[in-house]
Amino acid sequence: MTYAPLTLEENIYPSRTEDDHLISRLPKKNTQSHCSNPTFKTKDSTNSCDDYGYVTLAAASTGFLGLFQTMAVGRARKAAKVPYPIAYVSHEEALGDPAKMKFNCAQRAHANTLESLPFFLFSLLFTGLRHPRFSASCGALWVVGRVFYTLGYNTGDPAKRSRGVFHNFGTLGLLLGSTWVSLQMVMETF
């Protein structure tokens, strides 16, 4: 934080106490609420910023999802005796050893989540600017679907990853939502 320098007049004619000088040099507090920011309001929503906490909660839950998946990979790596930094074992090794197949599956579930995470977070936070409850619902659907996807994949049978296929509905909702918010913002410029 920087303070405004004293003017020549303040240095020559110190009519105020030192405390008054310090107080006058403090930055002015912005009293405008973020809720009055037009980004958060549209003609059909009045207090969308009040619900934005749900969106950030959905975003924060991805950290727990990542931790859950990382721990699953670590357990599978230890059980399969796969040393670091090997990311995957060969297909032949995996077919011959169920523990190594589970390791490959756990690693793939985690990698697949990481591949989709940037788009997910962007669309979650962006859609949430205008439609926070919809965005948070799609986010929760995505995270819960990813948990089921991971649990199914970690069985060692890749076909069981489809248990969490419903996470795609969350992705689709956020894709459509972020497109809609973009269109709303463009239309407001006309």
Spatial neighbors of 131 by CB under 8 A, at least 6 apart, are 45, 48, 177, 180, 181
33 within a domain of the structure (yes/no) = no
**Assessment of whether the complete model's pTM goes beyond 0.85:** no
CATH number at residue 157: 1.20.120.550
Q: What is the per-residue pLDDT for 32?
A: 46
159 within a domain of the structure (yes/no) = yes
Count Cβ atoms within 10 A of the Cβ of residue 188 and give its class: 0-12 exposed, 13-18 middle, 19 or more buried: exposed
34 versus 154: the higher-pLDDT residue is 154
Beta-bridged to residue 45, according to DSSP, are 42
The closest of 120, 147, 150 to 55, measured between CA atoms, is 120
1 within a domain of the structure (yes/no) = no
pLDDT tens digit sequence for 105-151: 999 999 999 999 999 999 999 999 999 999 999 999 999 999 999 99
- Diameter over CA atoms, the chain: 88
23 within a domain of the structure (yes/no) = no
> What's the CA gap between 113 and 150, in Å, rounded?
9
Average pLDDT for residues 9-14, to the nearest whole number?
56
139: number of Cβ within 10 Å: 30
When the pLDDT of each residue in the chain is averaged and rounded to a whole number, the result is 85
Domain that holds residue 79: 52-187
Residues constituting the chain: 190
171 within a domain of the structure (yes/no) = yes
What token pair was written down for 32?
A: 């405008």
Residue 95 has pLDDT above 50, yes or no: yes
103 within a domain of the structure (yes/no) = yes
* One-letter identity of residue 79: A
Confidence of residue 48 (pLDDT cuts 50, 70, 90): low
Domain count, the chain: 1
Average pLDDT for residues 57-69, to the nearest whole number?
97
Q: What is the per-residue pLDDT for 148?
A: 97
Q: What is the per-residue pLDDT for 50?
A: 78
Residue 185 has pLDDT above 80, yes or no: yes
Count Cβ atoms within 10 A of the Cβ of residue 69 and give its class: 0-12 exposed, 13-18 middle, 19 or more buried: buried
pLDDT tens digit sequence for 14-47: 555 555 655 565 555 554 444 545 555 544 444 5
Spatial neighbors of 8 by CB under 8 A, at least 6 apart, are none
Q: What is the per-residue pLDDT for 39?
A: 52
